[in-house]
Structure 1
Amino acid sequence: MRPAAAVAATTDTDGDGLLDTWETSGYDANADGVVDVDLPAMGASPLHKDLFVETDWMPGLRPAVTVLDRIVSVFAAAPVTNPDGVGGIRIHLDGGSYAGTSAYALGGAGEVPLDTDLSPYVEEIQALRSAHFASARADVFRYMVWADRYNTGCSSGVALGIPADTFVVTMGDSCNWNRTEDRLVGTFVHELGHTLGLRHGGSDNVHYKPNYLSVMNYSFQFGGVPRTSGPAYFGYSDDAHAALDERALVESKGLGATAAGWRTTWYCPRTNAARTSGDAAGGIDWNCGGSVSGTVKADINKSGSTGLLTAQDNWANLSFRGGTVGYGAPLANREEPVWVEVRPGHWRRVPPAALRELTKHDADQLQHGVRP
């Protein structure tokens, strides 16, 4: 039997990648007897899942405090269980001091020099991390920067692997981004999701799946997943909804009973995006033929072919350890970075024929280009 002290030194009761001893006594990075990262003072608990992210920013790109508030709310509402009996994930964002609150002043975040093109992006993002992120935090905090752009393109962001410990949100002035709160929140949660092991299609990188109701899906990164009532949802999927066989779509079934309360977006043949006007658990006119009837074949995710579209319960598949974050040896990235993320003009305008199923608000959410 292992000694009690040895067991305690490797125990992670809540499964968040942070050892219980770190969350009760603090983390001593160099084993010199001095606590380098005071997790309990920051609100960590060995009985409740915690995530830590340092958020630096380039000049003019620091988000409003309400963006951080919304990100915290997304994770607090996560359908995740904890040993303390309280649901959700407590995300600790180190974003510096804001007027009226010190909630995000965790001692590390700050402004970094403006770089209008992080290129080559891996090397330059890693250089930012080396220069502005305390190495003693590496086992606890993920690192991100609100940046301008990278690789001379206009991608909205990138994570340095899946899973990983570093990401950037690149919605700067060089690409004329319209930095709405929705886009900033959605892109932050999306890129953080990559560091937590999530992909654009769930367990794969197939895009625009109507049954993948997650901010990881390009269809929902900027505008959230629409509901039949209330505000859009900017979190990860909480259900592996039924697979859709594009070669035999039963229109009367829609997305199935598990999608009750949600709406979705799909692509009409030879046109563009359409959105359900009602519950996605009801019928959906997949081929945009004007009625909901029969079994049809349609490329509803505009991939250029038809096949089986599967979904994933994201929250049940998070990897809390990624890169250097977590106890034990650093984890190797399972995938190389995929840097072709959403761009300002990624969505085309919705054609008039498709607008018949959209409210004005919905149409605006789909038309994500900065300029018409």
Structure 2
Amino acid sequence: MDIYKKKSLVTLISSLTLFACGGSGESGTPTPLTTPEAETSLELTSTLIAPEAENSLELTSTLITPEAETSLALTSTLIAPEAENSLELTSTLITPEAETSLALTSTLTPVIKIYNEAPTFNDRSVSVNFNQPASFFLNATDTNHDHLSYRMIQQAAFGSIALNMMTEEVTYTPSDDQVISDFFIIQVSDGEISTDARFDITITDSIAPKIQLLDQSNLFSTTVPIQISFDDLIKNSSITVNGDNNDCSGSIQLSHDNFLSCVKLQKYTTPIGKTATDDYIKSITLLINSPLQNNSMYQLKFNEQIENYHGLYLERIILNYQMIMTTPIINEISASAYSNSRRWFEIYNGTGKTINLSDYNFISKGINATGNIIENHNFSLPAQLIDSDSYVIIQAQESPNSSQTSAQNSKQLIVIDDPDYAPYWSGQGYIELINSVDQSSVDLVRFGSDTQISSAPLITGKSLVRSITHQDSGNGSDWTTTHFSTPAGINDVNDCIRDDDNDGIPDCSELKNSTFAGLPLYQWGARSNQKDIFIEVDYMKSNDLGITPQKEALQKVKEAFSNRGYSVHFDTGTLYHPGADISHDDFDLSGGNSVPFTKTINFAKEAGVSSLVDYKSQHMDLRRRQIFFYMLFASSQNIDGEAGSSGLAEMNGNDSIISLGKWGLNKDTIENNNALINIQAATIMHEFGHNLGLLHGGDDGINFKPNYLSVMNYLYQLDGLASPGNNEGDRYYGHRFSGSAVCDQQSLINGPRNNVEHFLIDYSNGTGSTLDETQIDESKGLGRTFTSGIDFNCNGIIEGKIGVLEINGPTWVFENETWLEKEVVSTMHDHNDWEKVSLKFQDHWPGNAGQSRSAIVTQKKIDFMLIDTQKFIAEKTPSDAFFKRLQGE
């Protein structure tokens, strides 16, 4: 008997002889079985099915008698011993016509034949992107569920193969710049039978080629060839350049006149290795066959005709670049309408290396202290390193022999230190930059009708500027006048002339993706049709909270201006936002600074007194000066450093000092915290009001006018505005009758120690009626629409007309840079501060204090580069009574 065995099927063919083993109730030796109809041997054909385990086989058989169609059912169980060559079969046969039980015992000797099928493993084609690896699974199968193993039969000729036996994943990595097809063969085996599969690799490309400049610096030289590489294999035949006729027909073009004509080029190809062919390149070298203009802007264009190996075309690209400068150049020159203007010009270092200013000097006209003008004066420059691609401003002193110090000098600003002359020019003039070693001319700019050898237009705007690319072709076309100067920064507003919202910022710099001198004003919050006010706030390092700008105080001022249509952008740097990015909510525009502490500060530098001018020069980016106001939180103006006045500010200027040191401001209690925030907010708005042209009486210097409801008024600066109709005379009583048992209630309505939200700061809207001290009417109070009256004479009764009374008492008036105490009977009027603020953002001649203004004459805005120091308004130290109230006494 043979058994043909697969893992799931065994077939058994046998001849059996049956013996009776039961039915009569007797036992003994088995006898041959006789069927009911015939005594004959029966032939049995069986099919044996193997279950999951190989040692237990179940046999179901059908027994057919040879002479009759008698069907006998036979159910057998085949038990396999440990060896497969001896099988014991025990069966029970039931006859259909009689309940005779027949016992069958057989011994089988099988011959086992095992069938094993080969694994299935098909050839495959795989597409691989150019210069990109590709991974895929092998996907071999085996019907016997055998464990499969793989091995490499033939390696790829060009790429590399990585085979992961665990995951059955293979990764093909093409060689660099490979475009040739490849193949490899892998064999799979189940341990007995193996199958080979071939994998054909085709290199494809779906991404258009791009250029890669091998060395960016090569684009900035007149002598070094231009080297260019591609990220793809490029058909050499698609690279063409311009020849002798200067036309612009090549797929690569170089031009300095917007491709009206092109520079002659010669190309050289560079081999790319083993996968390259003669028809394809990866990089080229362009040799410039004609001299380029030094310091001039060129354009390098790559056209769409450039084609890669797979027929994809390069997208057109034009690169703007500047030829490297062998020397620094003069890049911007200020306008100058007045003889005492602090003229300036800008030097740009585009040499690709650091230079020292002391290697140069310059020649221009000069003016002395008496106004005498000479045609030529040689000005030396100090030792100062200037980085490549950087700007430095060279500026005149306020006057020769002025007290300005070298501390004002910075990497962006150099003040001329000449004992006799200051540089001079008007709408016309010249500046020549000289090499101080060999006295050769480095750069010469003549403007207007000056007779020096150069050419540029008359300066009619804010300044005379080169293009944004610093073009220097040696003729007047390099220069243009601009309405907005950009000192120490890139000339990026040359074509801007509009400022429709009158905030001093060109509208073009208030648009998305724009800049002003490289400053991202739009990102910082500037918008067209919106009056933007930028204020940089520097603060001295101190544990005194009065010197540290409080976020809530800045927010309170911001809201006061917002209510009138102005957008104030404070910049305290990382004070409340330590991150590297900016934050409008945290007043971080990446510019405010923590600066060194000094006990005494003022505008002018004196013995033992530091100067705001020096702090500003050292810590504020010079590019901001045309846009930003500068506010310095300092300690004291007193020489001993003790508590003094709250601040100091320029009138119609851009600088102010907040000096609240030693005032005892703290956060120890809720009331003290309120006072800290409220006092700071009121002082900021007061001092900034002077920058905007407001005096202590609005348009006059008369202080303590009760009807002038403004934070500019000493009566309301530190105590907050009175509330008409709600004990509106409380501030007046505290000032005029301090300590009086009749009128001074001590506690103020919404005073500085009260809730921050209720403390009022504002400029006056001018709606208060006039107070005539010759005929005071107490019932009219502050002269506003809603009034509860004021007991001006403090007799305990609010009466009608009470006659002559000096309401505001002896008042201090700041005249001729000194405080004068005056007591005069006068008519006190309110003032519309907000209208004055609006006029501030119109036009003024540079140097005009802004106290007189023609309504019909168009004037120029103040140029804070030419005149950055204005007359200032000092403040009086508050009374002892105020400090007692401040401490809650």
Give the TM bin, normalised by the shorter chain.
Answer: 0.7 to 0.9
Task: Note closer, same or farther for the CA distance 1:194–1:127 as it changes in structure 2 (3 Å cut).
Answer: same
Matches within 5 A, 1:108-187: 108-119=591-602, 121=604, 124-152=611-639, 154-159=644-649, 161-173=650-662, 176=664, 180-187=676-683
1:28 to partner: Cα distance? 3.4
Q: Does residue 1:311 correspond to 2:311, yes or no?
A: no
Deviations 1:207-240 (A, max 9, x none): 1110111111111111210324871311211224
In 1, the alpha carbon distance for the partners of 2:806 and 2:665 equals 30
**Matching residue's letter, 2:792:** W
Q: Does residue 1:59 correspond to 2:537, yes or no?
A: no
The answer to whether the Cα contact below 8 Å between 1:226 and 1:232 also exists between their aligned partners in 2 is no
1:366 to partner: Cα distance? 8.5
In 1, the alpha carbon distance for the partners of 2:870 and 2:627 equals 21
Q: Give the aligned partner of residue 361 of structure 1.
A: none
In 2, the alpha carbon distance for the partners of 1:121 and 1:329 equals 21
Deviations 1:346-372 (A, max 9, x none): 2353xxxxxxxxxxxxxxx79556696
The answer to whether the Cα contact below 8 Å between 1:9 and 1:19 also exists between their aligned partners in 2 is yes
1:139 to partner: Cα distance? 0.8
1:136 to partner: Cα distance? 0.2
Matches within 5 A, 1:232-271: 232-258=759-785, 260=786
Q: Does residue 1:38 correspond to 2:520, yes or no?
A: yes
In 2, the alpha carbon distance for the partners of 1:218 and 1:136 equals 35
Q: Give the aligned partner of residue 287 of structure 1.
A: 793
1:329 to partner: Cα distance? 5.2
The answer to whether the Cα contact below 8 Å between 2:770 and 2:783 also exists between their aligned partners in 1 is no
Q: Give the aligned partner of residue 28 of structure 1.
A: 516
Q: Does residue 1:75 correspond to 2:564, yes or no?
A: no
Deviates most, 18-27 or 108-117: 18-27
Task: Note closer, same or farther for the CA distance 1:71–1:215 as it changes in structure 2 (3 Å cut).
Answer: same
The answer to whether the Cα contact below 8 Å between 1:218 and 1:342 also exists between their aligned partners in 2 is no
1:132 to partner: Cα distance? 0.4
Q: Give the aligned partner of residue 102 of structure 1.
A: 583
2:685 to 189, 208, 218: 189
**Matching residue's letter, 1:157:** G
The answer to whether the Cα contact below 8 Å between 1:223 and 1:366 also exists between their aligned partners in 2 is no
Deviations 1:164-221 (A, max 9, x none): 1110100113x65567111111001100111011111010111111011111111111
1:56 to partner: Cα distance? 0.6
Deviates most, 242-251 or 226-235: 226-235
In 2, the alpha carbon distance for the partners of 1:117 and 1:329 equals 29
Task: Note closer, same or farther for the CA distance 1:185–1:342 as it changes in structure 2 (3 Å cut).
Answer: farther
Tell me the secondary structure at the aligned position of residue 187 of structure 1.
helix
In 2, the alpha carbon distance for the partners of 1:334 and 1:300 equals 36
Number of aligned positions between the proteins:
311
Deviations 1:107-140 (A, max 9, x none): 1111000010125646701000000011100111
In 2, the alpha carbon distance for the partners of 1:96 and 1:133 equals 11
The answer to whether the Cα contact below 8 Å between 1:17 and 1:327 also exists between their aligned partners in 2 is no
Tell me the secondary structure at the aligned position of residue 185 of structure 1.
helix
Tell me the secondary structure at the aligned position of residue 146 of structure 1.
strand
In 2, the alpha carbon distance for the partners of 1:70 and 1:117 equals 28
Please give the TM-score of this superposition, normalised by the length of structure 1.
0.75
Task: Note closer, same or farther for the CA distance 1:337–1:371 as it changes in structure 2 (3 Å cut).
Answer: farther
**Matching residue's letter, 2:634:** A
Task: Note closer, same or farther for the CA distance 1:209–1:328 as it changes in structure 2 (3 Å cut).
Answer: closer
In 2, the alpha carbon distance for the partners of 1:93 and 1:180 equals 18
Task: Note closer, same or farther for the CA distance 1:194–1:19 as it changes in structure 2 (3 Å cut).
Answer: same
The answer to whether the Cα contact below 8 Å between 2:767 and 2:784 also exists between their aligned partners in 1 is no
Q: Give the aligned partner of residue 272 of structure 1.
A: none
1:243 to partner: Cα distance? 1.3
In 1, the alpha carbon distance for the partners of 2:530 and 2:603 equals 38
The answer to whether the Cα contact below 8 Å between 1:238 and 1:315 also exists between their aligned partners in 2 is yes
Deviations 1:27-68 (A, max 9, x none): 433xxxxx2x21111111111111000001001232232222
Task: Note closer, same or farther for the CA distance 1:67–1:198 as it changes in structure 2 (3 Å cut).
Answer: same
The answer to whether the Cα contact below 8 Å between 1:56 and 1:146 also exists between their aligned partners in 2 is yes
In 2, the alpha carbon distance for the partners of 1:202 and 1:328 equals 21
The answer to whether the Cα contact below 8 Å between 1:52 and 1:92 also exists between their aligned partners in 2 is yes
- Aligned residues: CA RMSD: 3.1
In 1, the alpha carbon distance for the partners of 2:620 and 2:655 equals 11
**Matching residue's letter, 1:313:** N
In 1, the alpha carbon distance for the partners of 2:759 and 2:888 equals 23
The answer to whether the Cα contact below 8 Å between 1:121 and 1:151 also exists between their aligned partners in 2 is no
In 2, the alpha carbon distance for the partners of 1:200 and 1:333 equals 22
Tell me the secondary structure at the aligned position of residue 204 of structure 1.
coil
The answer to whether the Cα contact below 8 Å between 1:75 and 1:90 also exists between their aligned partners in 2 is yes
Deviations 1:61-100 (A, max 9, x none): 322322222221111112xxxxxxxxx2110000123159
In 1, the alpha carbon distance for the partners of 2:702 and 2:770 equals 13
The answer to whether the Cα contact below 8 Å between 2:769 and 2:782 also exists between their aligned partners in 1 is yes
Task: Note closer, same or farther for the CA distance 1:9–1:131 as it changes in structure 2 (3 Å cut).
Answer: same
Tell me the secondary structure at the aligned position of residue 538 of structure 2.
strand
In 2, the alpha carbon distance for the partners of 1:220 and 1:348 equals 16
Task: Note closer, same or farther for the CA distance 1:240–1:126 as it changes in structure 2 (3 Å cut).
Answer: farther
**Matching residue's letter, 1:301:** N
Tell me the secondary structure at the aligned position of residue 219 of structure 1.
helix
Task: Note closer, same or farther for the CA distance 1:26–1:327 as it changes in structure 2 (3 Å cut).
Answer: farther
In 2, the alpha carbon distance for the partners of 1:288 and 1:336 equals 38
Tell me the secondary structure at the aligned position of residue 189 of structure 1.
helix
Q: Give the aligned partner of residue 456 of structure 2.
A: none
In 2, the alpha carbon distance for the partners of 1:212 and 1:41 equals 38
In 1, the alpha carbon distance for the partners of 2:651 and 2:776 equals 32
**Matching residue's letter, 2:557:** I
Task: Note closer, same or farther for the CA distance 1:329–1:338 as it changes in structure 2 (3 Å cut).
Answer: closer
The answer to whether the Cα contact below 8 Å between 1:251 and 1:294 also exists between their aligned partners in 2 is yes
1:255 to partner: Cα distance? 2.6
In 1, the alpha carbon distance for the partners of 2:793 and 2:680 equals 33
1:256 to partner: Cα distance? 2.7
In 1, the alpha carbon distance for the partners of 2:869 and 2:702 equals 17
Q: Give the aligned partner of residue 300 of structure 1.
A: 807
Deviations 1:269-323 (A, max 9, x none): xxxxxxxxxxxx2322221222222322211111233211111111111113788
Give the number of the structure whose alpha-carbon radius of gyration is greater.
2
* Percent of pairs with identical residues: 29
**Matching residue's letter, 1:282:** S
Q: Give the aligned partner of residue 17 of structure 1.
A: 504
In 2, the alpha carbon distance for the partners of 1:240 and 1:335 equals 30
In 1, the alpha carbon distance for the partners of 2:522 and 2:868 equals 29
Structure with more helix by fraction:
1
